[in-house]
Amino acid sequence: MNPLIEQWLSGGPLVTDGGWGTELQKLGLPVGQPPELWNQSQPQKVEQVAASYVAAGSDIILTNTFGANPILLARHDAADRFEELSRLGVEISRRAACAAERRVLVFASIGPTGLLPMMAGPEMIDRLSEAFEKQAAALAAGGADALVIETMADPIEAATAVRAAKKTGLPVVACMTFGSGKKKDRTMMGTTPETAADLLLDAGADVLGSNCGLGIEGFLPICQRLREATDRPLWMKGNAGLPKMVDGQSVYDQTPEGFADEAMKLLDAGAVFIGGCCGTNPAYIAELCRRVKKN
C-alpha cells in the first residue's frame, strides 16, 4: 500500500465529502456554466461548500476542479485558465480544511474530458495525456494531498488520467462510474469492475473505487467485485438514490439515515473511504460520520 495512504488509514475508515455540483447549484451556479470558473469569480461560495463538509465531519474534502482541464475549458474559451482555476480550487479547499481543529485532507478532483478514446486512435490518447498531465501538475503545485480521478466511463481515459496523475508523485485514487447494462454493473462504455480494476491497477492507481451513476444501494455488488479484484484500498461515493425529474429539476429521495445504512454495508464489504456523490449534502455526511466514528 502507498505509505501515505497507509498512514492516513491507520485510525480506521475515512469519511469523504458529498456532492459538490448539486450544492453549488443551490448557491446559484447556473446550469451549463463550468463550476470551476467560480474558483475565481465566487470563491466564497465555493469555500462555503468545502467548509460545510468540514463542519459535517469529513476527513477528506475534494476540490472544485473536476473539469479544470484544458480540453473541457476550451469549450468555454477558458483553456488558458486551467492552471489558475486548478490552483485556486485547491487553495479554497485547503483554507476550509485548515480551519478545522483536526486533520482534514484535500484530495483534488479530476473528471473526464468528454472525449472518448475507446472510439478514437492513439492521437487522442496523446492529447488526453497532455491535458491530464497539465491538470495534475497544477493541482499538485496548488498543494493537494492526493489526486482523485472520478466519474470515468471510458477505461482508456481513466488509465491515461491515472498515468498522468502518478507523474506528480502524489497518491492517486481512480474511480469509475457504473450503472449501465442489464445488471447495472458496467460503465457507459461497457466496462466491468474487473476490467476497470485490471487497467487502473496496471496504470498505477493506489486506491480503486466508484462514484456517481447509481444510488448508493446499487454500490454493494460493485464494491464486492472490486474487493475480489484487488487488495488495494477501496473508495465508494454513491448518489442519494436515483434522481427523479420534478419540475425540470433532479430530485434525490434517499434520506441521510437510509444512505448511512447502505454506506455501512459498503464498509463491511471492504470500503475504507466512504462518502457521497450527487444529491448528498452535509446532512448525509454528518449522519455517516456519526455512524462511522461511533467506536
Q: Which residues bind Zn ion (CB under 5 A)?
A: 212, 277-278
CB-nearer residue toward Zn ion: 19 or 155: 19
Residue 83 main-chain phi, psi, to 5 deg? -70, -50
CB-nearer residue toward Zn ion: 17 or 133: 17
Question: Least distance (Å) from Zn ion to the CB of residue 150?
Answer: 8
**Quick one: CA dihedral 170, 73, 281, 149, positive or negative?**
negative
* Nearest Cα residue to 280 out of 11, 10, 20: 20
Residue 62, C-beta contacts closer than 8 angstroms, at least 6 positions apart: 16, 17, 20, 93, 106, 107, 108, 109, 148
Question: Least distance (Å) from Zn ion to the CB of residue 189?
Answer: 17
Listed in sequence order, the DSSP H helices in 121-234 are: 122-141, 155-166, 193-203, 219-229
CB-nearer residue toward Zn ion: 96 or 212: 212
Question: Least distance (Å) from Zn ion to the CB of residue 139?
Answer: 19
- Separation between Cα atoms, residue 243 and residue 56, nearest integer Å: 23
Can you name the residues that pair with 208 across neighbouring β-strands?
A: 174, 234
C-alpha radius of gyration, the chain, whole number: 17
Question: Least distance (Å) from Zn ion to the CB of residue 238?
Answer: 9
Question: Least distance (Å) from Zn ion to the CB of residue 266?
Answer: 16
Question: Least distance (Å) from Zn ion to the CB of residue 212?
Answer: 3
Can you name the residues that pair with 109 across neighbouring β-strands?
A: 148
* Nearest Cα residue to 180 out of 157, 152, 202, 207: 152
Burial of residue 140 (CB within 10 Å: 0-12, 13-18, 19+) is buried
